[in-house]
A and B are shown apart, each in its own frame.
Chain A
């Protein structure tokens, strides 16, 4: 391992501080899903992926990540900055005028680390499949990772992509579902039930693994296991259970913090629960 679990958890603590400070500063954005995916993205960028912080759009010879549920941009931006893609000070410009750190991720302002715009939901799996196909054509044996919300799976384009990937043996793709059971209007089971996601993906021909996205040791091991399953003719689906708002007690498990910013008192409380480990931006 490149880092110990403790070291990775320290990074997560700083990422959580970044998330709540960014959202508080502009009084807008999506803290809940961002907090729930802090372990996953930290594990990906600090442990799992072979990637270069010298950003090149083509990403030849390196593992690539695509964020489909672009509204959890705070966690993506924090992890990109903390892993050296751009200065952490730039996080202070989140959602503000003339910033590269837009409300939803985009290539359009030239922010290093972002390879596709996302925000309008349901498009990222197709894009990830396309990048995976190009890797194969280029005889590039590195991998494609992607992240999708569970509510996002209500978008039909996903199911076109979910059907395509096994048929075409896109086995260099590890797609992860942030399975937190919440969406803007309430619990996913009430808004539009996903039923049994594992058997659904398996029926489409994916190799499905499950993981606990808020347990660093488990997510690191699960991603390593997922990597071991690549190259065997099937795309890999990591069904990752998380808690929306994980790490900030008053945000945990509630869809109310999907897209709400904390006030000053709530920010102080959130920061008290997550120690400063790498220095605030």
Chain B
């Protein structure tokens, strides 16, 4: 098992904030819109340096999406910022008609995704956003795994022409990816090569997959770990190549098992390479109040859940 270490923990939303600021310095057409969550989205550095290009919308997310769509006409590259719940479910029709169907170059940037938002509870913990966004034709869906990858993804989507959903989170988690990485949209990252099972993870679950890989190694199981940061378009070739070698897969995501990364992988495999699959994901429920760690444990998204899913899926191999 390849060794991964970290010296600090940071929140992925801070990676977004730094990436947005840098994107703004690189390209004068980058503009940022926020629905009264500038601090939570870490947009202060951008807003302070580029006050004319920062638009405070107020608590009006539908208006924010529409304004962002309109701002693309004339060449601006709008980044909208609010919590994932208010970035997607609350404004689904606005995104569908004014952004996706209208082919607008809007970057919908969503923090506090998933259970790890914590104490605010289920009203704010969206677990359906990946599904909502990936169903929109033409929408790119990205869920980076740490601070560095989120920063790199933010810079990459500024250079990509077309609508993007960028999902990140609130808790401080290990920073373990290369600070100078080149982020390629739609390209899987091979975290660890292995032969017995493929673990496919996105977002906060990638570090847990690495921890699981270390525990599995001690049990004599050689796990291949792939980071799918871009859920759509899915790197089908990387997944199929891995599955041809390992023959089984565990998908890991901080999202409902319905509509997420796991279902995208299952759809691919069912037509191209039918294989046993286990899902480490929320079992079709809402969240609740609690600390992020408590919630990840209660809803079955811990390292141990990945280890157990691997043991189960390997038994299902012929």
Do the beta carbons of B60 and A163 come within 8 Å of each other? yes
Q: Are the C-beta atoms of A117 and B102 separated by less than 8 Å?
A: yes
Residue of B nearest to A61 (CB): B74
**Which residues of chain A (7-29) have a CB below 8 Å from chain B?**
none
Q: Which residues of A contact B96 (CB under 8 A)?
A: 120
**Which bracket fits the contact residues of B?**
20 to 34
Please state if B73 and A133 are interface contacts (CB–CB under 8 Å). Answer: no
| CB neighbours of A140 from chain B (8 A) | 74
Among A108, A135, A164, the residue within 8 A (CB) of B58 is A164
| Inter-subunit contact B76/A137 (CB<8 Å) | yes
Determine whether A160 belongs to the interface, using a CB cutoff of 8 Å to chain B. yes
Question: Does B297 touch A at the CB level, under 8 Å?
Answer: no
When distances are taken between beta carbons in the complex, the residues of chain B under 8 Å from A126 are 62-67, 69-70, 94, 98
Given A135-B74, A138-B74, decide whether A130 and B58 contact each other with a Cβ distance below 8 A.
no
A129 CB to closest chain B CB, in angstroms? 5
One of B9-17, B49-57, B111-119, B192-200 contacting the partner:
B49-57
Give the CA-CA distance A163 to B102 in the complex, in Å. Answer: 25
Q: What residues of B have a CB within 8 angstroms of the CB of A127 in the complex?
A: 66-67, 69-70, 98
Interface size class of A (residues with CB under 8 A): 35 or more
Once A108-B102, A123-B66, A161-B66 are accepted as A-B contacts, the answer to whether A58 and B60 lie under 8 Å apart by CB is no
CB distance from A100 to the nearest CB of B (A): 14
Interface residue B93 (Cβ < 8 Å from any Cβ of A): yes
Cβ contact within 8 Å between A108 and B94: no
Check if A192 is an interface residue, CB within 8 A of chain B.
Answer: no
- CA gap between A127 and B106 in the complex, in Å: 12
- CB pair A131 B63 closer than 8 Å: no
User: Is A115 interfacial (CB 8 A cutoff)?
Assistant: yes
CB <8 Å contact, A137 and B57? no
Closest residue of chain A to B94 (Cβ to Cβ) is A123
A273 to chain B, nearest CB (A): 35
B contact residues around A183 at 8 Å (CB): none
Q: Please indicate the chain B residues that have their CB under 8 angstroms from the CB of A64 in the complex.
A: 73
* B31 part of interface (Cβ distance < 8 Å): yes
Which one, A58, A116, A132, contacts B98 given CB within 8 A? A116
User: B75: CB under 8 A from chain A?
Assistant: yes
- B31 — nearest CB in chain A belongs to which residue? A137
User: Most chain-B CB neighbours within 10 Å: which of A60, A130, A135?
Assistant: A130
Q: Which residues of B contact A107 (CB under 8 A)?
A: 101-103
Contact with B along A62-76 (1 / 0, CB 8 A): 001010000000000
Minimum CB distance partner of A136 in chain B: B52
Q: Are A118 and B97 in contact (CB under 8 A)?
A: yes
Which residues of A from 214 to 260 have beta carbons under 8 Å from B? Answer: none
Which residues of the partner chain B approach A66 to less than 8 Å between Cβ atoms?
Answer: 70
A156→B90 CA distance, assembly (Å): 13
Interfacial residues of chain A within 66-111, with CB under 8 A of chain B in the complex = 66, 106-108
Measured in the bound complex, the distance between the Cα atoms of B63 and A128 in whole Å is 11
- The reply on B231 being an interface residue by CB < 8 A is no
Contact between chains at A133 and B67 (CB < 8 Å): yes
The answer to the question of B71 belonging to the interface, with a C-beta cut-off of 8 Å to chain A, is yes
Known interface pairs A137-B31, A137-B76; A160-B63 also in contact (CB < 8 Å): yes
Is there a chain B Cβ closer than 8 Å to A59's Cβ? yes
Whether A58 lies near B73 (C-beta < 8 A) is yes
Give the complex CA separation of A60 and B73 in angstroms. Answer: 9
Best-surrounded residue of A122, A123, A161, A163 (most CB of chain B within 10 A): A123
Closest 7 CB pairs of A and B: A130-B70, A126-B66, A134-B74, A160-B63, A160-B60, A130-B67, A127-B70
28 A-B residue pairs with Cβ-Cβ distance under 8 Å, sorted by A, are A58-B75, A106-B102, A107-B103, A119-B97, A122-B62, A123-B93, A123-B94, A126-B65, A126-B94, A126-B98, A127-B66, A127-B70, A130-B69, A130-B71, A131-B71, A132-B70, A134-B70, A134-B73, A134-B75, A134-B76, A137-B31, A138-B75, A140-B74, A157-B63, A157-B94, A160-B58, A163-B60, A164-B58
Tell me the A residues contacting B by CB distance below 8 Å: 57-60, 64, 66, 106-108, 115-120, 122-135, 137-138, 140, 156-157, 160-161, 163-164, 168
Chain B residues in contact with chain A, CB under 8 A? 31, 52-53, 55, 57-58, 60, 62-76, 78, 93-94, 96-98, 101-104
